[in-house]
Structure 1
Amino acid sequence: MAEHKHGDMDIDVQTKTFNGFVKATTWCVVAIAFFCLFLAVFAA
């Protein structure tokens, strides 16, 4: 079995994927907040 060296793996793809997920989640939360605010102001 090969020996594992901690911190030796290239994680650029995983880092970019995680950063994209965080950015998309942030934008979705902002969009939902504005939508709720819109409904509270104009649909009452």
Structure 2
Amino acid sequence: MADHKHGEMDIQVQEKTFDGFVKATTYSVIGIICLLVFIAIVNG
């Protein structure tokens, strides 16, 4: 079994994936909030 050395793995792809996930989640939450506000105003 190979020895594990902390901090040597290239994690650029994982960081880009996580950044994309955070952006998508943020935009989704903002969209859902806007939709709920719109529905509340229309049904008001």
TM-score by structure 1 length? Answer: 0.94
CA RMSD of the aligned region, Å? Answer: 0.6
* Cα distance between partner residues in 2 of 1:3 and 1:43: 63
Query: How many pairs align?
Result: 44
Aligned mates of 1:4, 1:26 — CA distance in 2:
35
User: Unaligned stretches of 5+ in structure 2?
Assistant: none
TM superposition outliers: structure 1 runs of 4+ over 2 Å = none
Letter in 2 for 1:40: A
> Once the two structures are superposed, what CA deviation does each residue of 1:3-34 show, in whole Å capped at 9, x if it has no partner?
11000000000000000000000000000000
Secondary structure of the residue aligned to 1:6 is coil
Q: Could you list the runs of 5+ residues in structure 1 that have no partner in the other structure?
A: none
- Aligned AA for 1:5? K
